[in-house]
Amino acid sequence: MAPRPPLSWTGIRNATQHGNVCPQVDAQQNMLFVPGSEDCLFLNVYSPCLDPESPLAVMVYIHGGGYGFGSGNDDFYGPDFLMNSRNVVVVTMNYRLDTLGFLCLDIKEVPGNAGLKDQVAALKWVQANIIKFGGDPNKVTIVGQSAGAVSCTLHAVSPMSQGLFHRVIAMSGVALSEFNTEFEQTRRAFKLGNKLGFNTTDPKALLRYLQTVPVRQLLNTDISIIAAEKYIDFVMKVYYFVPVLEKNLGQEQSFLEESPLVSVKNGLHNVETLMGYTSDEGLVGILFYENGQSFENYKRYPEVLLPRTLLYKSSPQIYMELADLIKGYYTGSPLTTLETMQQAVTYCTDVFIYPIFRYARRLAKFNRNDNIYMYEFASVSNRNVVSQQGIGYELDGVGHTDELHYLFYANALNIPIDENTSKLIEQFVALLTNFAIFGNPTPDSSLGITWPKYTANSEKYLLMSENLTVAANPRPTMTSFWEHMYHLAGVKF
């Protein structure tokens, strides 16, 4: 259900400890069940000065985790690097996850998107209270990575979120990202009830039943509803309880009323935007490929090579044709399936990155605000925890989530900092905080470069490595290939 306003208190509230995390099965802790509490809507505020000469810009971070795990706590999101800059207030938050946050029953009580409405509640709290922490409610930037980045781009078009922030930083995720694909969400809810032994066609009866079920049984569930979903790997799937387009069910307000692409075309996403990706997102999949059945599934059921956005919209005849083209592109022959780790990582990277390019082009074409910046993060150091999985395969680069370790101090990892990584951290923090403060990541010459805006014509972006360089037209061969795939499937680029 929708979040409730926080309760008030008398006296001084002890807020020196993190609040409850939301119940989850944590993929960062080897799929450990973390019971947490459903009373988990807490946020954390970090300020370098409670009484600055003038209010400071605010960066509100929304964590990723496929909408299934994570929290705003400092085990992975310590504010140390951002506090060192001494020019922004930082807020992190929890929001409900998995079934608890994203169940949709198409009834007024459960229209979907509860977790996103939790985020809205946090943003409203920031507007009402951040001035007390030295922050400027008129200069709020929402920042997210992966599912958190998707959330940011959804807030940019949500009627519930209008006026609650002013800029967006979306890292490795946009509203079109593959893991954000909804399909038959209400059917999935009834499938969950069926798996738990409760058969009904009445959504209110299902709701009453699910409210009696131990929380562990509601998390990390297998609620695939077509056979192919049993064989699609985590890059395409992650979790199936995701944001939805809400039907008009009499609820006071919907979070998402139309497709994000339609909203962008209608000019709703009109806030200043910085977005980007890591050079080799797919390195995050190596452990999964090592321990899973993906290679065998690609060989036996080639249709699972299709992104879900295409699979759901294609006939068997079309998706088998597309599967052959995908095999040919990544292996050199439509007769050869993906069989090497290099092929799998490249494919996984492209599936992550292509929707970002697709969204950026759309945004540049229709956004009334032309303040758009694009980056590729390619800095290599010991902070790239995920990419170290590629060493045994002679693969390097920057994997999905690696860039976070240059923005936050992960207490759970305690990665050492040397002179080189210190420089990279300062560089990345400066670019992002500059954008939050000025709407321009390079407002002066201090970083030795001017980051140009991204436009549909120039497609210029910043390549972030040890040195900063400007480039244009990112990955044209890959982009053209996937554009062709979407065209064949009847999906507009």
Question: CA torsion angle for 213, 219, 225, 230 (degrees, to 10)?
Answer: -140
Q: What angle do CA 347, 348, 349 make, to 5 degrees?
A: 90
Residue 359's alpha-carbon distances to 171, 368, 374, in angstroms, are: 13, 15, 11
**Catalytic residue numbers?**
146, 281
Q: What DSSP string describes 185-220?
A: HHHHHHHHHHHTT---S-HHHHHHHHTTS-GGGGSS
Q: Where are the beta strands (DSSP E) in 222-377?
A: 272-278, 372-377
The residue type of 455 is T
Report d(CA 47, CA 458) in Å as an integer. 38
Alpha-carbon gap, residue 474 to 466, rounded angstroms = 19
Phi first, then psi, for residue 462 (nearest 5°) are -105, 125
The Cα–Cα gap between 241 and 98 comes to 6
CA dist 302 → 143, 294, 319, 400 (Å): 36, 10, 9, 25
3-state helix vs strand vs coil in the chain, percent to 5: 40, 15, 45
Maximal C-alpha separation, the chain: 71
Write the CB contacts of 282 (distance below 8 Å, at least 6 apart in sequence): 235, 344, 345, 346, 347, 348, 349, 350, 351, 352, 399, 400
